[in-house]
Amino acid sequence: MAYPSSSTVSSGQPTAASQYNNLRKDALYLGQSYNDSLLLGNFFAKFASGFKLILYSVSRLKLVIDTKNPPTIVINGCLLQMNSNVVTGSGLIAGAAAIYYIFAVQTPGSVGFTMVPSTSASETDNTRLIGECYWDGSTIRDIVCYFPENVIPEPDYDSGYFACTTGTTYAKAHGLLNHPRLVLLFHTTNTTGYDERELVTVVTNAAGVEMSPVGITDTYVYVQTGAAGAGTCVNAIRRQSATGYYRILAWL
């Protein structure tokens, strides 16, 4: 369908109903039939771009401003953008360990927005959920931005941690119905997951030979540990282990 539907009018020319309606159609549906197109406001209702959350201090988060791609978001139908850094308020992330959800908040009379953390994930009319982080009681960890720009997306499969030991095959159904293009296997020595994580690329087999432990099908990620020795679960310069914990991340 031709776009725009409306055309210019001359000074003094009466505006016909069809001209008004075409103009309205251009404004609301980009000139398309309402059967074929969402309302422009509805189309952009969940728009967000240019978001990057980083640690500002141990208990505060900062939204980084890139002037070439500033944080831009639609909240409550309002088109909002920030051109200066946004930081969560002091003392808002505190107390017992919890997941905190990060909201962008629209304020009447402003074309910018503020940023507020909450232990509830529920949005309200004037808030949009933009990320989350884990507060361990003293430090913010694992910051996740829901609208990342130029960063690695969340994995399509995450096994969570599981205990590992020598001479064992672990078959994990990733549920992706295809071969993942990227699989990473991490090793940790305790259950917090916050110690040094080693990327597992090789383990040692019974003969002391280094081999990759990972196999990938369209159904499973297999991890097969070595049969005997000190590096059967991970054999890295920084750590050898025949026990500990694994976590698999996979991306399609």
Partner 1 sequence: MVYIIRKADQTIKTFQTRDDDTFLDPGEVIEPSPLSFSEYAERLVLSLDGRSGETVIVPAEVKELTVHVSCPGEQSVDLLINGTPETVSLTKGIGSIILSADAPGLFIIKPADQTKYCPAGQATLYIEVQ
Q: Which positions touch partner 1 (CB under 8 A)?
A: 157, 159-165, 168, 170-175, 188-192, 220, 229-231, 239-245
CB of 138 to partner 1, least distance (A): 17
Which tokens go with 228?
């005997």
| Torsion angle defined by CA atoms of residues 135, 57, 146 and 79, in that order, rounded to the nearest 10 degrees | 130
Cβ atoms within 10 Å, residue 194:
13
The rounded distance, in Å, linking the Cα atoms of 75 and 59 is: 26
* 54 vs 207 by CB, closer to partner 1: 207
* 116 vs 214 by CB, closer to partner 1: 214
Of 250, 241, 251, whose CA–CA distance to 187 is shortest?
241
CB of 242 to partner 1, least distance (A): 5
* 32 vs 201 by CB, closer to partner 1: 201
Tell me if 119 sits within 8 A of 96, measured CB to CB. no
* 117 vs 231 by CB, closer to partner 1: 231
CB of 100 to partner 1, least distance (A): 20
CB of 102 to partner 1, least distance (A): 24
Tell me if 77 sits within 8 A of 104, measured CB to CB. no
DSSP H/E element including 48: strand 48-49
CB of 77 to partner 1, least distance (A): 39
Strand order in the sheet with 86-87: 53-57, 60-63, 86-87
* 6 vs 189 by CB, closer to partner 1: 189
| Torsion sign over Cα 70, 71, 72, 78 | negative
CB of 164 to partner 1, least distance (A): 5
* 41 vs 160 by CB, closer to partner 1: 160
